[in-house]
Amino acid sequence: MLGTASTINVGVLMRIAAALIVAGTLSLGTAAAALAQTPASTPGTAAVPAPAAPSAGSAKPACANPDALGIGRVVEIDPTGGPGFGFEHFKQLDFLRDKEVVLTFDDGPWPGNTPAVLKALADECTTGIFFAIGKHATYHPEILRQVAAAGHTIGAHTWSHANLNGKKMTEQLAKDEIEKGFSAVKWALGAAPAPFFRFPALQHPPALVSYLGTRNIAMFSCDVDSFDFKARSSQQVIDTVMKKLDRLGKGIILMHDFQKHTAEALPELLRRLKAGGYKVVQMKPKFPVETLAQYDEELMKSAKLPTISTRPVSSVVKTISE
Ligand SMILES: [Zn+2]
Is the model's pLDDT at 54 over the cut of 70?
Answer: no
* Mean pLDDT lowest among 12-21, 40-49, 90-99: 12-21
Is the model's pLDDT at 125 over the cut of 50?
Answer: yes
Give the tens place of pLDDT for each residue, 213-249.
Answer: 999 999 999 999 999 999 999 999 999 999 999 999 9
Confidence (pLDDT) at 198: 98
Span 9-42+67-316: which CATH code?
Answer: 3.20.20.370
Q: Where are the domains of the chain?
A: 9-42+67-316
Give the tens place of pLDDT for each residue, 157-201.
Answer: 999 999 999 999 999 999 999 999 999 999 999 999 999 999 999
At 251 the three-state DSSP class reads strand
pTM score of the predicted model: 0.80
C-alpha span between 283 and 78 (Å, rounded): 10
How far, in Å, is the centroid of ligand 1 from the Cα of 133? Answer: 8
Confidence (pLDDT) at 300: 84
How far, in Å, is the centroid of ligand 1 from the Cα of 169? Answer: 17
Instruction: Compute how many other C-beta atoms are within 10 angstroms of the C-beta atom of residue 247.
Output: 9
How far, in Å, is the centroid of ligand 1 from the Cα of 298? Answer: 23
What residues does the ion ligand 1 have nearby, CB within 5 Å? 106-107, 200
How far, in Å, is the centroid of ligand 1 from the Cα of 68? Answer: 28
Instruction: Mention every residue, 6+ apart, whose C-beta is less than 8 A from residue 83.
Output: 22, 26, 31, 34, 77, 90, 92, 93, 218, 219
